[in-house]
Chains A and B, each alone.
Chain A
Amino acid sequence: MSSEYTVTETLDVKGQSCPMPIVKTKQAIDDLEAGDVLEVIATDSGSMSDIQGWADGTDGVELLEQEEADDRYTHYVKKTE
């Protein structure tokens, strides 16, 4: 993870599959303030494409970074508004 942003909240969706990582991410983002960054840790490989698609198609969120390591997919999503 780069140091350009600070993680506000971490969401653990390990072991959960589609559509849970997206639905839970959306719920977690709703509870945050503008400027906050949510870290989402998933084991669902489909979450790489899904989180990206969701962030692209949703107003008020920005996907900062995605990482893949040891079958773990970590996403950093910023709430922009």
Chain B
Amino acid sequence: MSTDNQTTSVDEPDAESEFDAAELQALRERVEELEESLAEADAGDDQKKMTIVATQGSFDMAYPPLILASTAAAFGWEVVVFHTFWGLDILHEEKSTNLKLSAVGNPNMPVPNAVAALPGMDTMATKMMQKKIDENGTATIEELIDLSLESGVDLQACQMTIELMDYDEDDFYDGVTTGVGAATALQHMADSDIQLLV
């Protein structure tokens, strides 16, 4: 027993240092492996994602989400626009071509609110804006929707609001995603680099 013990005690330091070298080598290999997979993961994360929540359906407020969405798609980003409440009208084939600008409560209008409240003032304000947009070569809402869908933007129509407004799923442009709710929107927002509420 004592001889055995002695042998072991003499051999132990050697055995330990051999094991250390092997362990060290294994660790080095593991670190290299991890660094490689980290580099791959970083490269994969390069894909930017943006989620916009569009809640407004007036003529002027329809533009910002669509312009940002189509431009982001041109950058190759993954884009979701979740349309809810009045924002739904932007995706509504019939209503989208007839969105109005509000003359009342609009500090940019050259007339006082009392005058802006008169019948026909919203239509007039919308026509003025429409004329400016045509003159400026700014795209129409329809064009921007088509472009967005063509370039892979996911235009979503909130299911709860579809029912609230008594709309039909067929009322929307082809390619619009229906049957989605707040949980879907939140999921996209959580996964996104950029989240905007318009």
**A79 contacts B by Cβ under 8 Å:** no
> Contact: A23 with B151, CB < 8 Å?
yes
Q: Which residues of A contact B137 (CB under 8 A)?
A: 15-17, 20, 43-44
**A22 contacts B by Cβ under 8 Å:** yes
Tell me the bound Cα distance from A15 to B76 in angstroms. 25
A: interface residue count bin: 10 to 19
Q: Which residues of A contact B139 (CB under 8 A)?
A: 16-17, 19-20
> Contact: A58 with B151, CB < 8 Å?
no
Tell me the bound Cα distance from A11 to B137 in angstroms. 16
B: interface residue count bin: 10 to 19
Q: Which residues of A contact B147 (CB under 8 A)?
A: 23
Q: Which residues of B contact A57 (CB under 8 A)?
A: 75
Q: Which residues of B contact A32 (CB under 8 A)?
A: none
> Contact: B74 with A19, CB < 8 Å?
yes
**B residues with CB within 8 A of A:** 46, 67, 70-71, 73-76, 136-139, 144, 147, 151
Give me 29 A-to-B residue pairs in the complex whose CB atoms sit less than 8 angstroms apart, sorted by A's number.
A15-B137, A16-B137, A16-B139, A17-B138, A17-B139, A18-B67, A19-B67, A19-B70, A19-B144, A20-B139, A22-B71, A22-B74, A23-B71, A23-B73, A23-B74, A23-B151, A25-B74, A26-B73, A26-B74, A26-B75, A27-B151, A44-B137, A54-B71, A54-B74, A54-B75, A57-B75, A58-B75, A58-B76, A59-B46
